[in-house]
Structure 1
Amino acid sequence: MNQLAQITSMAIFAKVVDTMSYTEAARAIGVSKSAVSKELARLEAVLGVSLLKRTTRKIEVTDVGHTYYKYCARMLTEVQSADAFMDKYHADPVGNLRVVSPVTFGNRVIVPLLNQFAAKYVNVQVELELTDRQIDPEEANIDVAIFINRVKPEPGLGRTLMEIEWGLFASPAYLERHPAISDPDQLGRHLFLLFRGSAHTTVVAMRKHKREVEVRVRCIMRSNNSVALLNGALDDLGVAYLPRYVAREAVEEKTLIPIFPDWTFEKRFAYVAYREDALVPPRVLSFVQYLTENFEQT
């Protein structure tokens, strides 16, 4: 008898001793009574001892059977403990959670939610990478990746978190010192702080109802980081073209003023991507669910 078959026979023997009944043991295991008898007979033949004394009225455990049962019972206890561990593993988030996100969006939006998640699930160890480089999550062994793109992700490739709207912002001091802005065509007279990226341009496109405008502006600062542009606007350098979520706090504090807030500028979509299959660990599913639920509430 190989070890795997012997383990099965040991489990059946332990169940018979626990119930002191072939019938009850067979019912508990989910096999026939005759199968139980055959397994026990085969086990005794392999061991070369009698484990049970069987009569028409009752079952008695032999002396060697009592000792052997202790080993079998210990084995079953370990199996049950292993099952309990796996049940808990699948129920409770635990382990390392590797997350990657763009720098500004990560700091401003993702990090506060990630901190709340980490405080709630103390058995999850978070590894966060903030970068604006393009990363292949699978190659980098990343669990959850946050992306920002011009279009929504295709079904099965990610879940949309939010729509990122852009806008124009300037400090009160800058606006006091420069010509008033009442029409988009006047933007060409002003100094601009623009994002540096793949869409390297000095044209600001905007739309309101049926009117669409493209204004070529004078750029005095470019950066690949929106916070740098925000700080430039706060220092009265010029009009900053920013994601609205980056400027929100400054607008609320009235240190920046939105220009043409009722116009629509370009949009981006922030979305979360992760491997969606049956083997995704609870820590990943819990974090994705935590993100999506919190974004739905905003």
Structure 2
Amino acid sequence: MDYLNDMALFVEVVKTRSFRRAADALDMPNSTLSRRISLLEEGIGLRLLHRTTRKIELTEAGQLYYERCKRIVDEARLAHEELGNMVAQPSGVLRVSLPVDFATTYLAPLLPEFVALYPGIRFDLDLTPRNVDLVAEPFDLAIRMGTPETSNLIVRVITRVSAKLYASPNYLEANGDPVHPSELERHECLTMNTTPVWKMFTDMETFEAKATSRFRVNSVAMIRRLAGFGMGIAFLPERVVAEEVASGQLRNILPDWQGSPGSVYAVTETRLLPAKAQRFIEFLREKLKDS
């Protein structure tokens, strides 16, 4: 039954697209891993991988074998974890792709507590604005803002966040306080690339404000900084600007108005998650439920 173990080795090699990275993750010599995969191919009688000095690629047979093996390996791993100590104390490397702004504002303050709860987990955090390919790239999960585009993935809501309006005292002294969102059109509004219209509401009214500005950037951190320097009005979640509000650098304006809640998602390739990923998602849901 050695081929069952070799199937798990093969899956790790394909997930990492590298014998070296797979060997590091499996804590075994690269030469041993390469020999085991070669023996697996000999036992099957088909070439599974095309090897070059720079990369590896699946053959047609290798692609079919990987799809079958991955399901078997995932099921076997979950069965082991459910019956073993890893459920109580999960371990291993947790690979997560997430936006920079979410990581620095929401995740970073929570990591010390999570690390204390699960000392056996190590982290490989990829802070990137791109939507990584969870099928082809070796990530356990991705955190995404806004509805994921791909229907083939498993999506779980972590939290929902609402934005409010903030500006610096210097900006308001020079430009005045708006008394209704309709007045925002004559103000400098610091906007994300994808949000030229700010949708907001009170208990009695809804309004869509046209947000125009000389600045339009794709970084929440940059918008926060520009607002603090008096460059315009920002429409951001309360937690993002908590320090600036506490220090008096920014002030909430039109406090009765807020944006429609937007969801933050944990996205995975499969429902068969290792314990380390399950605990991470559960932890974020609990800690961010009041965001």
Is residue 289 of structure 1 aligned with residue 282 of structure 2? yes
Q: Secondary structure at the match of 1:88?
A: coil
| Partner of residue 233 from structure 2, selected from 239, 256, 265 | 239
Please list, as runs of the form range in 1=range in 2, the aligned pairs for 1:38-53 lying within 5 A after superposition: none
| Partner of residue 96 from structure 1, selected from 77, 93, 97 | 93
Residues in 2 aligned to 1:150 and 1:89: alpha-carbon distance in whole angstroms: 32
Please list, as runs of the form range in 1=range in 2, the aligned pairs for 1:1-298 lying within 5 A after superposition: 87-150=84-147, 157-196=154-193, 200=194, 202-274=196-268, 277=271, 280-296=273-289
Shift of residue 95 of structure 1?
1.1
Counterpart code for 1:228 = M
Residue 123 to residue 224, structure 1, CA distance change in 2 (3 Å): same
Q: Look up the match of 2:11.
A: none
Shift of residue 133 of structure 1?
0.8
* Paired residues, number: 211
Residue 105 to residue 189, structure 1, CA distance change in 2 (3 Å): same
Residues in 2 aligned to 1:215 and 1:274: alpha-carbon distance in whole angstroms: 35
Residues in 1 aligned to 2:268 and 2:147: alpha-carbon distance in whole angstroms: 19
Counterpart code for 1:140 = E
Counterpart code for 1:285 = Q
Residue 218 to residue 110, structure 1, CA distance change in 2 (3 Å): same
Q: Secondary structure at the match of 1:176?
A: helix
Q: Secondary structure at the match of 2:278?
A: helix
1:244-265, Cα deviation, whole Å (9 max, x unpaired):
3212222233211112121132
Shift of residue 270 of structure 1?
0.8
Structure 1 residue runs of 4 or more that deviate by more than 6 Å after TM superposition: none
Q: Secondary structure at the match of 2:215?
A: strand
Residue 284 to residue 250, structure 1, CA distance change in 2 (3 Å): same
Shift of residue 190 of structure 1?
1.3
Counterpart code for 1:184 = P
Residues in 2 aligned to 1:288 and 1:187: alpha-carbon distance in whole angstroms: 38
Q: Verify the 8 A CA contact 2:226 2:232 in the aligned structure 1.
A: yes
Unaligned residue ranges in structure 1 (runs of 5+): 5-82
Residue 150 to residue 251, structure 1, CA distance change in 2 (3 Å): farther
Q: Look up the match of 1:27.
A: none
Residues in 1 aligned to 2:258 and 2:176: alpha-carbon distance in whole angstroms: 22
Q: Verify the 8 A CA contact 1:150 1:267 in the aligned structure 2.
A: no
Shift of residue 201 of structure 1?
5.3
1:93-152, Cα deviation, whole Å (9 max, x unpaired):
11111111111011111222233322332222110111111122232221122111159x
Residue 296 to residue 204, structure 1, CA distance change in 2 (3 Å): closer
Residue 265 to residue 139, structure 1, CA distance change in 2 (3 Å): same
1:181-210, Cα deviation, whole Å (9 max, x unpaired):
2122222221121111xxx45433332344
Residues in 2 aligned to 1:179 and 1:87: alpha-carbon distance in whole angstroms: 63
Residues in 2 aligned to 1:92 and 1:244: alpha-carbon distance in whole angstroms: 34
Q: Verify the 8 A CA contact 2:201 2:257 in the aligned structure 1.
A: yes
Residues in 2 aligned to 1:275 and 1:115: alpha-carbon distance in whole angstroms: 27
Unaligned residue ranges in structure 2 (runs of 5+): 2-79
Counterpart code for 2:277 = V
The two structures, once aligned, show a CA RMSD in angstroms of 3.0
Q: Verify the 8 A CA contact 2:191 2:212 in the aligned structure 1.
A: no
Q: Verify the 8 A CA contact 1:168 1:242 in the aligned structure 2.
A: yes
Q: Verify the 8 A CA contact 1:158 1:273 in the aligned structure 2.
A: yes
Q: Look up the match of 1:59.
A: none
Residues in 2 aligned to 1:192 and 1:174: alpha-carbon distance in whole angstroms: 11
